[in-house]
């Protein structure tokens, strides 16, 4: 059991490369995406004559696994094709977890003629026409894929800025209300690139991709996020663009009569079930994985169960559920896995019958059932030997109190003494663990007081008090907002600067010779806080960002 869990904890890092297009025309843009699954590292891509790199971005996708938060990182490289030919991009290396990985090679053909229609993806409307005629320096285009959806059907909103002049994105001016929706947003860095539209070279800045799932039926209004820009001219003009209102109609799902096994899933999904081995000896551990993947509301899906008849042949442990989401070709794709660990207890042949999964398809306007393939198992071995080994193991188990009473009544005096020794041993371990926790809590408390004394500012004390209050009440929105402001405000104060643009702040710290590890830790906290704020969706557990932020600020106090 321990060995199996250990392998899950330290899953292998995988690197995947993917291109947005197979063919492209000269002057057109395509994207190379490199995904690091279960790890983080530095990516190296060789320069290729004929392909010009024009911008990069990074997406961090959250995955919840056994109550802990993990990430899948995707780096996007935007290229412009400048020379005709066939190109293979290989030798993409990633240094992660003290190892060097090589991604799969990818290929693209560049043609002399345009592959895309020049108006493909071009914003429409009078406002954009005025921009193209240089009557405006900058414009934000908001797109929404549907204005009539079923409840829990994905709604995609994309925001892009177009400009004729260099601009910086300072940030957002407010967070739109998402009370009637589940909301997910990517955390890409806002790196600009150049696009040719109607023969004119335009600067493009991807601002935000957001996916909404309506949780209430009826007419709903959706406000997009307003962004603040600063023109890079002698006046440093600050302007706001991006807020727009869309009205949508949310339809109820049709009656699910006859589909009592409906999982709550709305979208387009695949369903599989698999097992790690089919020839099994009594006492062997077996892993069954049930997986749902596709485009839709993965987080609210009720996963199907395996048949209770399996308990005639196996001891079944409590299943674990894993979930991850990522953007792929401007669509939010999700995967949810339910894993059972079984221990074979009886001889015989057993078949795991077709497990069914029911979802609603908005495109076909109907409920659909998909079935996994049946799995045939052959179980062999000596049950008596397994029972003897199982009994020996049970004597050493830490058993719940309700079961202990039964064991004390039924076991002889020798077993009674052994159980008491186990209890004493457990109590000793608990006392040691509690002592360590108290010691660490005192250290954290002293760290906070040290921070307060260093700054010696009544406003700072109230900031910390408010942060701790938000944290204790699990008010993630105000908590993340306060930690983010605390970190940026005190860094600005320390170095006598006034930068609210995160990228500008990181560059300024680098210019002041702050070590890269500290800058990385600052960026990590700000990214996590802003992910929760921008997505409008709180992380399941009450993660502690303030302790790390305080540590960073204390370290920076010693910098001259």
> Which CATH number fits the domain that encloses residue 282?
2.60.40
Same domain, 309 and 357: yes
Same domain, 99 and 204: no
Identify the CATH number of the domain in which residue 93 sits: 2.60.120.570
437 in any annotated domain: no
Same domain, 291 and 211: no
Last residue of a domain, one of 91, 116, 141: 116
Q: Do strands 366-371 and 356-361 pair parallel, antiparallel, or not at all (unpaired)?
A: antiparallel
Model pTM above 0.85: no
Same domain, 485 and 463: yes
- 211, 183 Cβ separation under 8 angstroms: yes
163 in any annotated domain: yes
* Cα–Cα distance, 264 to 281 (Å, whole number): 38
> In the sheet where 245-251 sits, what is the strand order?
148-150, 245-251, 218-223
pLDDT at residue 477 in the model:
81
Same domain, 124 and 208: yes
- 241, 227 Cβ separation under 8 angstroms: yes
447 in any annotated domain: no
- 183, 535 Cβ separation under 8 angstroms: yes
- 169, 160 Cβ separation under 8 angstroms: no
430 in any annotated domain: no
Last residue of a domain, one of 96, 116, 136: 116
Q: CA nearest 466: which of 455, 456, 453, 477?
A: 477
Could you write out the DSSP letters of every residue in 204-252?
EEEEEEEEEEE-S-EEEEEEPPPEEEEE-STT--EEEE---EEEEEEEP
**pLDDT tens track of the chain, all 560 residues?**
333 333 333 456 778 888 888 888 887 778 888 888 766 778 888 888 888 887 676 666 655 444 455 567 778 887 888 888 999 988 888 887 678 888 888 999 988 776 654 434 578 778 888 888 888 888 999 999 999 999 999 999 999 999 888 888 888 888 888 888 888 887 555 667 777 787 778 888 888 889 999 988 899 999 999 998 887 655 557 888 899 999 999 999 999 888 888 988 999 999 988 888 888 888 888 888 899 999 888 888 888 888 877 888 888 888 888 888 877 777 888 889 999 888 888 888 888 887 889 999 998 999 998 888 888 888 887 655 554 344 433 332 323 323 223 322 333 333 333 344 555 556 666 777 676 665 555 444 444 444 444 444 434 444 777 888 888 778 888 888 888 888 888 888 888 887 766 777 877 888 888 888 888 888 888 878 877 766 555 544 677 888 888 888 887 777 76
Same domain, 102 and 128: no
* Cα–Cα distance, 389 to 393 (Å, whole number): 6
pLDDT at residue 224 in the model:
93
Same domain, 247 and 332: no
* Residue 83, C-beta contacts closer than 8 angstroms, at least 6 positions apart: 26, 49, 50, 51, 110
Same domain, 277 and 294: yes
Q: CA nearest 172: which of 181, 184, 161, 183?
A: 161
- 495, 522 Cβ separation under 8 angstroms: no
Q: What residues make up the domain containing 208?
A: 117-252
Tokens describing residue 198: 């109607």
Burial class (CB in 10 A: 0-12, 13-18, 19+), 335: middle
Burial class (CB in 10 A: 0-12, 13-18, 19+), 320: middle
Residue in this structure with the two tokens 């094709």, named with its chain if needed: 81
445 in any annotated domain: no
221 in any annotated domain: yes
Same domain, 213 and 289: no
Q: CA nearest 223: which of 161, 159, 162?
A: 159
Same domain, 106 and 123: no
Same domain, 137 and 73: no
194 in any annotated domain: yes
pLDDT at residue 236 in the model:
59
Question: Sign of the C-alpha dihedral, residues 89, 94, 99, 104?
Answer: negative
Last residue of a domain, one of 365, 395, 425: 395
| 3-state secondary structure at position 517 | helix
Q: Do strands 106-111 and 23-25 pair parallel, antiparallel, or not at all (unpaired)?
A: parallel
434 in any annotated domain: no
Tokens describing residue 480: 């993340």
Same domain, 335 and 219: no
Q: How many domains does the chain have?
A: 4
């Amino acid at each position: 059991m321990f060995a199996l869990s250990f392998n899950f904890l330290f899953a292998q890092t995988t690197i995947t490369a993917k291109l947005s297009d197979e063919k492209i025309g000269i002057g057109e843009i395509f994207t190379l995406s490199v995904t690091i699954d279960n790890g983080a590292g530095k990516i190296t891509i060789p320069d290729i004559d004929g392909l010009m790199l024009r911008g990069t971005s990074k997406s961090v996708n959250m995955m919840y696994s056994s109550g802990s938060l993990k990430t899948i990182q995707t780096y996007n490289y935007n290229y412009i094709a400048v020379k005709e030919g066939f190109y293979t991009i290989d030798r993409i290396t990633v240094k992660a977890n003290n190892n060097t990985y090589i991604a799969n090679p990818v290929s693209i053909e560049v043609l002399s003629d345009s592959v895309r229609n020049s108006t493909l993806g071009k914003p429409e409307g009078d406002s954009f026409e005025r921009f193209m005629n240089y009557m405006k320096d900058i414009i934000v285009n908001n797109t929404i894929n549907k204005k009539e959806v079923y409840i829990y059907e994905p709604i995609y909103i994309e925001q892009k800025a177009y400009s004729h002049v260099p601009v910086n994105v300072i940030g957002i001016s407010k967070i739109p209300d998402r009370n009637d929706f589940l909301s997910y947003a990517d955390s890409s860095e806002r790196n600009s690139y150049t696009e040719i539209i109607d023969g004119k070279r335009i600067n493009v800045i991807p601002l935000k991709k957001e996916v909404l799932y309506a949780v209430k039926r009826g007419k709903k209004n959706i406000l997009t996020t307003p962004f603040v820009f600063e023109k890079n001219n002698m006046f440093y003009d600050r302007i706001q663009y991006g807020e727009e209102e869309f009205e949508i109609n949310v339809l109820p799902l049709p009656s699910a009569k006859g589909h009592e096994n409906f999982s709550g899933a709305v979208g387009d999904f695949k369903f599989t079930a698999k097992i790690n081995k089919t020839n099994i000896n009594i006492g062997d551990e077996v892993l069954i994985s049930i997986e749902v993947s596709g485009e839709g509301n993965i987080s609210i899906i009720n996963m199907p169960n395996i048949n209770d008849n399996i308990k005639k042949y196996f001891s079944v442990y409590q299943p674990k559920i894993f979930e991850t989401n990522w953007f792929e070709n401007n669509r939010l794709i999700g995967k949810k896995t339910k894993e059972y660990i079984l221990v074979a207890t009886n001889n015989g042949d057993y078949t795991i019958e077709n497990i069914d999964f029911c979802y609603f398809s908005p495109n076909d306007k109907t409920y659909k059932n998909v079935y996994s393939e049946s799995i045939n198992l052959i179980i062999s071995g000596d049950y008596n030997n397994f029972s003897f080994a199982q009994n020996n193991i049970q004597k050493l188990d830490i058993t719940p109190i309700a079961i202990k009473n039964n064991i004390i009544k039924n076991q002889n005096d020798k077993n009674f003494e052994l159980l008491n020794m186990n209890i004493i041993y457990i109590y000793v371990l608990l006392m040691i663990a509690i002592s360590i926790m108290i010691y660490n809590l005192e250290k954290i408390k002293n760290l906070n007081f040290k921070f307060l004394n260093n700054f010696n500012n009544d406003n700072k004390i109230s900031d910390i008090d408010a942060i701790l209050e938000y944290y204790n009440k699990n008010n993630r929105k105000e908590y993340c907002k306060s930690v983010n402001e605390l970190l940026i405000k005190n860094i600005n104060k320390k170095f006598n600067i006034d930068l609210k643009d995160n990228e500008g702040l990181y560059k300024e710290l680098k210019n002041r010779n702050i070590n890269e590890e500290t800058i990385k830790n600052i960026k990590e906290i700000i990214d996590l806080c802003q992910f929760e704020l921008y997505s409008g969706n709180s992380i399941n557990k009450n993660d502690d960002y303030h302790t790390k932020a305080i540590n960073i600020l204390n370290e920076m106090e010693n910098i001259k």
